[in-house]
């Protein structure tokens, strides 16, 4: 639980943007949580018990179908929250959501969130705009999946991760990157090797560090950037 005056210590953009008069609807219900690597937040078809406002780390939202095909459809960090369906009035998880890079955050029970959204129009508007931003991200993931090459998609992912981290180090194995991008592990290895050879990243076992962000942006081209710009527009430039 967080008192109103405690918000100064909060990094989460959404929590930060909650109007003072709405804070009583959210703050008292928040529970600080540590979120380790691979911590599972939502499981497909199961009820969503909490929404998580991340402070640190990166969560992956992964779509899964009946034949176990899977691919990442969105990433969430300190700029947003998990549990988008809750905002839409649905309490069933559609996708698999888990921490891709460990961190921390605050979570709120589904019931408390629903009550808060029902009571405050401002709160509802804020979260709907976040949901809209997340939709845009998913749409652009669909675009990248369909038309970008492996190297471009990898670059896009690294940039999105970097945006949500405080260091340039991305602690992740090739295996997990491959799952998220929906490609072979070996393909990721080769692509990363190419980045390394061009001086864009350095690597260690289970870790990858961005060195030349501009260079990576150049590779990603226009597959990166639109969702980020749109989220800024939706939530204001602060």
Partner DNA sequence: CTTTTGCGGTACGGTTTGGTACTGAAAAAA
Partner DNA sequence: TTTTTTCAGTACCAAACCGTACCGCAAAAG
Q: Does 114 bind a second copy (CB under 8 A)?
A: no
CB within 8 Å of 237: residues ≥ 6 apart: none
Binding string to a second copy for residues 4 to 43, with x set by CB under 8 A, is what?
Answer: ----------------------------------------
Instruction: Provide the token pair at 82.
Output: 């998990």
- Number of residues binding to DNA, judged by CB under 7 A: 21
Which 93-152 residues touch DNA, going by CB under 7 A?
A: 149-151
Cβ burial of 91 (10 Å; 0-12, 13-18, 19+) is: middle
Contact by Cβ (8 Å): 227, 144: no
Which 116-155 residues touch a second copy, going by CB under 8 A?
A: 118, 121, 125, 128-129, 131-132, 135-136, 138-143, 145-148
DSSP 8-class letter at 24: H
- Rounded to a whole number of angstroms, the minimum distance from the CB of residue 213 to DNA is 20
Of 1, 142, 186, 229, the one binding DNA by CB under 7 A: 186
Burial 183-203 (b: 16+ CB within 10 A, else e): beeebbeebbeebeeeebbee
Which residue(s) pair with 69 in the sheet? none
In the complex, which residues of this chain contact a second copy (CB under 8 A)? 63, 65-67, 69-71, 73, 84-85, 87-90, 92, 94-95, 118, 121, 125, 128-129, 131-132, 135-136, 138-143, 145-148, 181-182, 221-223, 225-226, 230, 233-234
């Amino acid at each position: 639980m967080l008192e109103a005056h405690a918000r100064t210590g909060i990094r989460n953009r959404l929590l930060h943007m909650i109007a003072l008069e709405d804070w009583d609807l959210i703050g008292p219900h928040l529970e600080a949580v540590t979120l380790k690597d691979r911590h599972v937040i939502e499981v497909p078809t199961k009820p969503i018990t909490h929404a998580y406002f991340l402070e640190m780390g990166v969560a992956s939202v992964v779509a899964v179908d009946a034949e176990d095909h899977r691919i990442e459809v969105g990433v969430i960090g300190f700029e947003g929250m998990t549990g988008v369906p809750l905002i839409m009035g649905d309490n069933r998880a559609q996708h698999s959501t888990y921490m891709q890079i460990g961190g921390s955050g605050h979570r709120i029970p589904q019931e408390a969130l629903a009550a808060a959204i029902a009571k405050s129009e401002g709160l509802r508007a804020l979260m709907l705009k976040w949901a809209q931003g997340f939709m845009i991200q998913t749409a652009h993931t669909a675009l990248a999946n369909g038309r970008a090459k492996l190297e471009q998609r990898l670059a896009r992912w690294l940039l999105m991760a970097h945006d949500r981290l405080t260091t340039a180090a991305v602690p992740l194995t090739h295996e997990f990157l491959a799952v998220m991008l929906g490609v072979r592990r070996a393909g990721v290895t080769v692509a990363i090797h190419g980045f390394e050879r061009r001086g864009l990243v350095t690597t260690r076992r289970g870790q990858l560090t961005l060195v030349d962000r501009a260079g990576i942006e150049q590779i990603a081209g226009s597959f990166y950037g639109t969702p980020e710009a749109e989220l800024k527009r939706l939530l204001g430039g602060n």
